[in-house]
Structure 1
Amino acid sequence: MKFAIIYIFIGLFLVVGNWESQQQHWQQEDEVTEDSIRLRIFSHDDSLLQQEIKRQVRDEVALYSADHMEEVPSIEEARKVFESHLDIIEKKAEEVVHNYDDSLPVDVSLQKEVEFPTRVYGPLVYPAGDYEALVIEIGEGEGENWWCVLFPPLCLTDLGIGEEEEEQSEEEKEQEDEEENGPEFTFFLAEIWEDLFNA
């Protein structure tokens, strides 16, 4: 009986320790740095055609930016990358827009304070406020806008690109953890239970 009680305390200690570790991990994930550069695209108007043009510009710019943000270590470096690629980004956006209407101008600029609402990326919460952003205005820029976080490169999450692979990876990881830790811990609890009844 004495050993069974000791086993129970050890088991409780392991469970509590694992729970506290998970809590710390979640808290770390919820912390969001303010060092971010966002993307905001204003469509010409709210017509179906202009909204489709906006979405195509969004996809083109998000994919291009993600390719160049993958290994950028800081917001300072990210800012330099965007500043040096503004002409290329504007040209890519123009190509999309002018495929539909070559009379619409496209303006691309990097602005210090642009107003944004709150956005959630999984456990990460980006609160509403004024943030640095790459702003794209199509034509009059009076239609609905779309935005995401370019640095860190989270725009592809909004577009659903890479989510399937990420979810599959998480599922595989959970399965591996269960295979590694589940049976061993279950067997340990079973031993405690058996000792209690035998005592």
Structure 2
Amino acid sequence: MKSAIIYVFIGLFLVVGNWESQQQHWQEEDPVPEDSIRLRIFSHDDSLLQQEIKREVRDEVAIYSAEHMDDVPTKEEAREVFDAHLEIIEKKAEEVVHAYDASMPVDVSLEKEVEFPTRVYGPLVYPAGDYEALVIDIGDGEGENWWCVLFPPLCLSDLGIGEEEEETDQEEKEEDIEEEPEFSFFLAEVWDGWFGA
């Protein structure tokens, strides 16, 4: 009797320990490098139209930048990439803005110290402070701003791009979770076999 109870508790301990280990593994993420280059876009004003223009510029620049950040390992190299593509990025932003208003100026610059508030990426936190950033001013640049991290390329996560892949990974994790109750049910059957009516 005592040995049977001991075996049951050992089995339950293994199930719980395995589940906690998997949970901890799933929550672990690669740390974000301290050296980063951000994107900050200032809209002309806070009107609905200008906010829409800002979002379209955001999407265009974030996607274009991510395409050139895949194999860039350091902030210094990322800076060189942005310097080389600065005119192209400005042209892409102008194309979006000028589709709405051909007279609206657009200014794109890579600046060493731009003030940012605290930003959270899942379990990771970027503290408030001055950071290097690609800054886009649309028109008077007096409207609500939007920002993200261009290097490493985290902007696409903010935009929801790549979520389909993340959802697939989550489904696989849920399938793994579903396997665990089978062992738990097995223990319950053993328990009933030993001590049931």
TM-score class, shorter:
0.7 to 0.9
Alignment partner, residue 45 of structure 1 = 45
Q: Which structure 1 segments of 5+ residues have no match? A: none
How many Å separate the matches in 2 of 1:78 and 1:137? 21
RMSD: 2.7
Which region of structure 1 is more displaced relative to structure 2, 167-176 or 87-96? 167-176
What is the one-letter code of the residue matched to 1:19? E
Residue 171 in structure 1 maps to residue 170 in structure 2: yes
Closer, same or farther in 2 for the Cα pair 1:15/1:88, shift >3 Å?
same
Q: Deviations over 1:109-154 (max 9, x none)?
A: 1112211112223333322222121111112211111111112222
Identical aligned residues as a percent:
70
How many Å separate the matches in 1 of 2:124 and 2:175? 25
Q: Deviations over 1:11-49 (max 9, x none)?
A: 3145235425634663x4385432221110011222333
Determine helix, strand or coil for the equivalent of 1:29. coil
Shift of 1:191: 5.0
TM-score, with structure 1 as normaliser? 0.82
Matched-pair contact (CA < 8 Å) for 2:12–2:184 = no
TM-score, with structure 2 as normaliser? 0.83
How many Å separate the matches in 2 of 1:121 and 1:62? 16
Q: Deviations over 1:143-198 (max 9, x none)?
A: 111111112222122222232x1353133212331354442x22442255236527
How many Å separate the matches in 1 of 2:191 and 2:30? 38
| Paired positions, count | 196
Q: Which structure 2 segments of 5+ residues have no match? A: none
